[in-house]
Chains A and B, each alone.
Chain A
Amino acid sequence: MRSSAVKVQINPELCQGHGRCYDLAPGLFGDDEEGYGRVLSDGAVPPEAERDARLAVLNCPEHAVELLEEG
């Protein structure tokens, strides 16, 4: 099975459009027309982007970015 062990998601209830996720991990996150963060593609994080993903999580002022570690 070809699925990544790590995924990112944004909680739209918490996101306020600070943009730290798309600043720090532009390969994983982008913005919508109002500047709110959105996950590009399906959120699967390739191993080489894992560090960026963790930085995006840890730098979100609203705690809106989540990392899901699957088994």
Chain B
Amino acid sequence: MAVDDRFSFQTPETGEDELVGTRSEIITGPVADWATDFSHLEPEWSADPYPIQDDLRQRCPIARTERFGGAWLPTRYDDVAAIAYDTDRFSSRSIILSNFRPPRELAPIGGSPPISSDPPFHRDARKLLLPAFTKKVVARQEPATRAFCHSLIDSLAGRDVVDAAHDYAQHIPMRVIADMLGFPPQDGPQFREFVEDLLEGINLPPDDRVERVSRLFDYLLAQVHDHLDQPREDLTTYLIDAELYGRKLDPSVVTGAMALLLIAGIDTSWSAIGASLWHLAKTPGDRDRLVAEPGLLPTAMEEFLRAYAPVTMARLVKQDMHWHGVDMKAEDWILLSFPAANRDPAQFDRADEVVIDREVNRHAAFGLGIHRCVGSHLARMELRVALEVWLERIPAFTLDDPGAVTWSAGQIRGPRTLPLRIG
């Protein structure tokens, strides 16, 4: 049997590959006018983006900023949907908006396929992952997830105040994805650093960013080697062995897909679980109703996903064009805010209210079109089990100090400090 030497290369010392793209000036500081100078990295946005989005939807539905080398922010559902569906004019080559545009030659694969891929490669890369993330397949993780949630609650015993984001929500997706990828469960804290480096360190100096990204890929490569030595039944071995177009995957596709599953699987569910608990802690009527009517949880959960959708994506404009009233230039970013779309009153009745028995809820929390979140069934399982176990074990809880709640900055939004009084 031939030795698999795809992964025996040296990683470039400074991530030379990444340096071929385009860097733009880093602009930070208070926003002058959200219509012309928006930034999703400023504290005002992290703390509460919805009034900003509602205001923009009224007066400037495709907002602009010169930060990040130029970007647009559509806030109407119809515009967000149109961009998500239009893969001819909007590329997914980079889906995290930053001060660095990767080289155009990176399309159609992108750095973390298939989320960063455009047609036609996208479809084939996605086909590799879909069977591992169907509702039936992820249901196999449910008993272990439930047991793990119970063990987290057990560990809170004796405390009156707990941090539900730090002590509960974050650990659940970390454990689940580590199990699925076959990584050591005790590596969880490292995953958190990777996530923060990639998703929150947007305005750090570019060399710092490159350095942080290479730390993640060094880790992934070490896991690949561990799996080459000891193949096992998990997603890492699956990706190492997977074939596309009759040959095994390029090593960068293997590690890119692993990076995607690790990063995209953690921050997102962590945010959704945390935001749901935050809402219930400050809304005793909804909390008590869900405790009394557990059968309503699947419906309520969709409403939490609509109202507090954690995920915003990005696109890059392919060509200069006049689009829905604005002049877009090639390489302009689009901040594709599914959260803003989900609160458009033209699409949802009582869009700004959380209605936990909302039965018709065509929200876009998991995206629209070909890039529908590949992990959506896993995310829904994690969110449902996390909330079921919490409400069963801790039916009475309130915000200990509303002012102490903090939210993540950047494209994935959720509580990162969430002190709850449970005593």
Contact = CB atoms under 8 A, between A and B. Distances in A.
Interface string B108-148: 00000000000000000001001101111000000000000
B370 A16 contact: yes
B363 A55 contact: no
B362 interface: yes
Interface in B340-391: 359-364, 366, 368-370, 372, 376-377, 380
A58 B362 CA distance: 7
A59 interface: yes
B360 A34 contact: no
Contacts of A60: 362
A34 B126 CA distance: 10
B364 A61 contact: yes
A61 B362 contact: yes
B127 A61 contact: no
Listed residue (A18, A55, A58, A62) with the most chain B CB atoms within 10 angstroms of its CB: A18
A62 B364 CA distance: 9
A23 B361 CA distance: 13
B298 interface: yes
Interface string A10-25: 0000001111001100
Interface in A8-67: 16-19, 22-23, 31, 33-35, 55, 58-62
B298 A23 contact: yes
Given A16-B372, A18-B366, A34 B359 contact: no
Contacts of B131: 33-35
Nearest to A22: B135
A7 to B, nearest CB: 21
Contacts of B372: 16-18, 61
A36 to B, nearest CB: 8
A19 B377 contact: yes
Contacts of B136: 31
B142 to A, nearest CB: 14
A59 B360 contact: yes
Contact of B362 (A17, A22, A31, A59): A59
Contacts of A31: 134-136
Contacts of A34: 127, 130-131, 134
A63 to B, nearest CB: 8
Contact of B363 (A17, A33, A61, A62): A61
A57 B53 CA distance: 28
A17 B127 CA distance: 12
Nearest to B368: A61
B364 A17 contact: no
Contacts of B363: 61
A19 B135 contact: yes
Interface of A: 16-19, 22-23, 31, 33-35, 55, 58-62
- 5 closest Cβ contacts across the A-B interface? A34-B130, A16-B372, A35-B134, A58-B360, A61-B362
Given A34-B134, A59-B302, A61-B362, 6 more contacts: A16-B369, A17-B372, A19-B135, A22-B135, A34-B131, A61-B366
Interface of B: 127, 130-131, 133-136, 298, 302, 359-364, 366, 368-370, 372, 376-377, 380
15 contacts: A16-B369, A16-B370, A18-B366, A22-B135, A31-B134, A34-B127, A35-B131, A35-B135, A55-B359, A55-B360, A59-B362, A61-B362, A61-B364, A61-B366, A62-B368
